[in-house]
């Protein structure tokens, strides 16, 4: 049964790490700050890449990826121990996971007892494809949680409507979007996509970005965005669909309580029924002739 959730969403300001323990302390401090105020915490894509500064001697994207891949198990253990220590549901951002078929960008959702499940990024950006060789992961799925089914759409994945739609049709009512964008163009693509997914599916979508400049890293050298949570644009919701939003390029948490019952109501009694009216099949466009 779907239940209301108190959600914390972070704009992660990239910090300089000199040791892997610096990353662990940064993560712990952020979770300690937010855990008393939320049921589930969302952090950004590739936020753990800040640890690469402790593992490499100069900014180099390939070396940073290789270093974090070598420490991927240790970083995942840090994430799990943090969730357990603070007894909170945690999506600590994504991390590169080396596998036999290549590196995947995986988003772990960690339960308070340390159990973990993963959603892979499915569509790679040009940087991931051309500079890193990161491989497409498993298709969209849904996580079973105490609040019902929740989906995750990692950054670029949020720009493809059919991926989120598959999760909605599997009965997810909240989509988590960890993201890492190095320009306002990139961030606005994700933000606008998140708002579109919330509108067309009459669901909630939460976006967690990295922010700040980190010239000591090639991977996270420039980061833009703001934390945000978006919902339907209809009766019973804000006129712009913004449930909560932080300030642009400023680190910190935002919190909001989301009630799935409000989605049921708008899907049934809204001015429009976007979710229900999703076309089952998309017709092939034809040329429309002019006549005199």
CA–CA distance, 227 with 37 (Å, rounded to integer): 16
Beta pairing partners, 148: 145
Amino acid 127: pLDDT: 93
- The pLDDT tens digits of the residues spanning 234-269 come to 999 999 999 999 999 999 999 999 999 999 999 999
Whether 277 is in a domain gets the answer: no
Whether 280 is in a domain gets the answer: no
Whether 85 is in a domain gets the answer: yes
Whether 290 is in a domain gets the answer: no
Q: Is residue 122 within 8 Å of residue 139, measured between CB atoms? A: yes
Q: Which residue has the tokens 């913004």?
A: 242
Closest CA to 234 of 280, 269, 286, 186: 269
DSSP 101: T
Task: With a cut of 80, say whether residue 207 has pLDDT above it.
Answer: yes
Amino acid 281: pLDDT: 82
Whether 286 is in a domain gets the answer: no
Whether 84 is in a domain gets the answer: yes
Look up the CATH number of the domain holding residue 132.
3.60.110.10
Tell me the pLDDT band of 51, cut-offs 50, 70 and 90: very high
Q: Is residue 68 within 8 Å of residue 49, measured between CB atoms? A: yes
Whether 288 is in a domain gets the answer: no
Task: With a cut of 80, say whether residue 124 has pLDDT above it.
Answer: yes
- The pLDDT tens digits of the residues spanning 55-84 come to 999 999 999 999 999 999 999 999 999 999
- The pLDDT tens digits of the residues spanning 9-19 come to 999 999 999 99
* Residue range 167-172: mean pLDDT, rounded: 98
Measured at the CA of 170, the angle between CA 115 and CA 108, to 5 degrees, comes to 25
State pTM to two decimals: 0.96
Total count of domains within the chain = 1
Task: With a cut of 90, say whether residue 101 has pLDDT above it.
Answer: no
The total number of residues written for the chain in this structure:
292
Whether 239 is in a domain gets the answer: yes
- How many Å separate Cα 264 from the centre of its chain? 24
Share the mean pLDDT of the chain.
Answer: 96
CA–CA distance, 48 with 90 (Å, rounded to integer): 14
Task: With a cut of 90, say whether residue 283 has pLDDT above it.
Answer: no
Measured at the CA of 212, the angle between CA 24 and CA 89, to 5 degrees, comes to 40
Task: Provide the domain limits for residue 188.
Answer: 5-269
> Tokens representing 138?
């498993």
């Amino acid at each position: 049964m779907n239940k209301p959730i108190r959600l914390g969403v972070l704009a992660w300001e990239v910090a300089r790490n000199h040791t892997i323990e610096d990353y662990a302390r940064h993560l712990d401090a952020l979770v300690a700050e937010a855990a008393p105020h939320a049921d589930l915490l969302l952090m950004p894509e590739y936020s753990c890449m800040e640890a690469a500064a402790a593992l490499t001697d100069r900014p180099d994207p390939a070396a940073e990826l290789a270093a974090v891949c070598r420490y991927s198990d240790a970083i995942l253990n840090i994430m799990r121990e943090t969730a357990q220590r603070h007894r909170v549901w945690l999506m600590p951002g994504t991390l590169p996971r080396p596998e036999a078929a290549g590196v995947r960008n995986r988003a772990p959702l960690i339960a308070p007892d340390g159990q973990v499940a993963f959603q892979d990024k499915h569509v790679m950006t040009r940087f991931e494809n051309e500079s890193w060789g990161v491989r497409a992961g498993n298709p969209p799925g849904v996580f079973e949680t105490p609040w019902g089914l929740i989906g995750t759409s990692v950054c670029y994945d949020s720009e493809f409507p059919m991926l989120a739609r598959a999760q909605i049709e599997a009965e997810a009512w909240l989509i988590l979007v960890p993201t890492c964008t190095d320009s306002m163009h990139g961030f606005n693509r994700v933000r606008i996509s998140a708002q579109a997914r919330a509108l067309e599916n009459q669901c909630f979508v939460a976006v967690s970005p990295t922010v700040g400049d980190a010239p000591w890293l090639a991977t996270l050298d420039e980061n833009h965005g703001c934390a945000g949570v978006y919902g339907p644009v209809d009766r019973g919701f804000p006129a712009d669909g913004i449930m909560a939003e932080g300030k642009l390029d400023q680190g910190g948490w935002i919190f909001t309580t989301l009630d799935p019952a409000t989605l049921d109501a708008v899907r049934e009694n809204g001015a429009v029924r976007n979710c229900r009216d999703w076309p089952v099949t998309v017709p092939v466009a034809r040329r429309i002739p002019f006549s005199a």
